[in-house]
Structure 1
Amino acid sequence: MRIKVCGMKYPENMEQVSQLMPDYMGFIFWEPSSRYFTGPIPELPEPIGKVGVFVDASISFILEKVKDLNLNLVQLHGGEPPEYCTSLRQELKRLAGPERKIEIVKAIAVGQSFSFGDLHPYEGKVDYFLFDSKGPLPGGNGFAFDWKLLEGYDLQTPFFLSGGIGIAEVENLRNFMGTSLAKKCHAIDVNSAFEMQPGLKDPGQLQTFIEKIRL
């Protein structure tokens, strides 16, 4: 099972977490966030994908960060419409060239009023969805949503599963991965449940989680 550790902020902590070899590490480029990241990203092991998280940012700002930090994925965590995703994909393709693909992740807030119908316009315009808990913040609200709300997901786009996931969810995750829906689950996204303070992850807790998940 692929694992993404999001909301990384401190270079030394990034190096500690990178030793656990998560599949992705996420960096938030939304200034109001307590996990807002500035500065260079330390050199990470080659297999780890670098994900830039943006909230209603201009395409030019995203392209600047992708170029400067050599990002592999762009995660859109605001109200970006499908047309924006199309334009961004075209610009990322120009920037990357024929030898490289920079993928797009569109975050979707899941609450009781969640409808799959809202996702159809994004099909073919993004590479992944990311299902997160609906709350006061664009992300990092620290609690899980009811994964049963995803039952009946019939779109082709694979997804990241996010929203307050911690060690307490290991058994539920194992059960989830035994369902037919798991075939479309590209990765598990973790963040606030493993923090000692915003942006500072507990490597020991993360190691325990990753070992349990990858059994």
Structure 2
Amino acid sequence: MNLKVCGITRQADLDALVQLGVDYAGFIFYNRSPRFAGNKLAGRSVRETKNIAKVGVFVNADPAQVVQTVKDYGLDLVQLHGEESTAVCEQIRVTVPVIKVFHVGSTEAHLQAAPFMAVSDYFLFDTAAKEYGGTGRQFDWELLNSYALEQPFFLSGGIGPADVDALARWRHRSLFALDVNSRFEISPGIKDMDKVAGFLQSIKK
């Protein structure tokens, strides 16, 4: 099981993720987010950080802006968290692999995903909300039981240290990675690395 820790705003936290062996670090480039990385992290320092896959999170951003940020920060993937079209995904994917996000409420949101198979590399399923960004709440994972596409996906939405047993009981053949954020924070954008370390050890068993 792979782990992505999102909402990184400090170089010290990024370096700690590398030392722990976390698979993915997420940087939010949506300026309405309290975890906006664009004014907190220098592009060069992120770009020069090795041994972790770096994911930029964008919401309905101009594709040219996305591509420039990929270059500035040395991003390995982008996560498109808004209502980006298949055409936008295809345009960005020429430069960098794409994670397309779908927001799950009380219905099977993954039914909207099939048209994006050819223009993305992964899907991510997150909890639906009125505003973009983390809610700290979980959706019903059982809604993904009928997901039958071959595209691997990240599971997001309010996952925390207390969910290890529930995650062990709920398995899906296309589940590729867990995406965590607010449940592993001291304050928005400041990670509790002891929690991250314990959770990583548990899910890697």
Relative to the length of structure 2, the TM-score reads 0.93
The AA in structure 1 aligned to 2:199 is F
Q: Aligned to 1:194, which of 184, 191, 194? A: 184
Give the aligned partner of residue 33 of structure 2: 33
Q: C-alpha deviations, 1:187-212, integer Å up to 9, x for none?
A: 11000000000011000011111111
Aligned length in residues? 200
RMSD value over aligned CA atoms? 1.3
The CA distance in 2 between the partners of 1:20 and 1:135, in whole Å, is: 31
Give the aligned partner of residue 117 of structure 1: 111
Select between 117-126 and 203-212 the one with higher mean Cα deviation. Answer: 117-126
C-alpha contact (below 8 Å) 1:106/1:128 kept by paired residues: yes
2:200 is the counterpart of 1:213: no
Relative to the length of structure 1, the TM-score reads 0.89
The CA distance in 2 between the partners of 1:146 and 1:127, in whole Å, is: 24
- Equivalent position SS for 1:19: helix
2:96 is the counterpart of 1:106: no
Select between 2-11 and 16-25 the one with higher mean Cα deviation. Answer: 16-25
The CA distance in 1 between the partners of 2:83 and 2:62, in whole Å, is: 12
The CA distance in 2 between the partners of 1:184 and 1:114, in whole Å, is: 16
Aligned-pair CA distance for 1:117: 2.8
The AA in structure 1 aligned to 2:168 is R
Q: C-alpha deviations, 1:83-113, integer Å up to 9, x for none?
A: 21112223x1xxxxxxxxx310001100113
Give the aligned partner of residue 22 of structure 1: 22
The AA in structure 2 aligned to 1:24 is Y
Q: Aligned to 2:53, which of 16, 36, 49? A: 49
The AA in structure 1 aligned to 2:136 is G
The CA distance in 1 between the partners of 2:33 and 2:185, in whole Å, is: 15
Give the aligned partner of residue 12 of structure 2: 12
Change over 3 Å in CA distance of 1:151–1:69 after alignment to 2: same
Structure 1 ranges of 4+ moved more than 4 A: none
C-alpha contact (below 8 Å) 1:132/1:139 kept by paired residues: no
Q: C-alpha deviations, 1:95-145, integer Å up to 9, x for none?
A: xxxxxxx31000110011334331111111110100001123323110111
Give the aligned partner of residue 64 of structure 2: 60
Aligned-pair CA distance for 1:214: 0.9
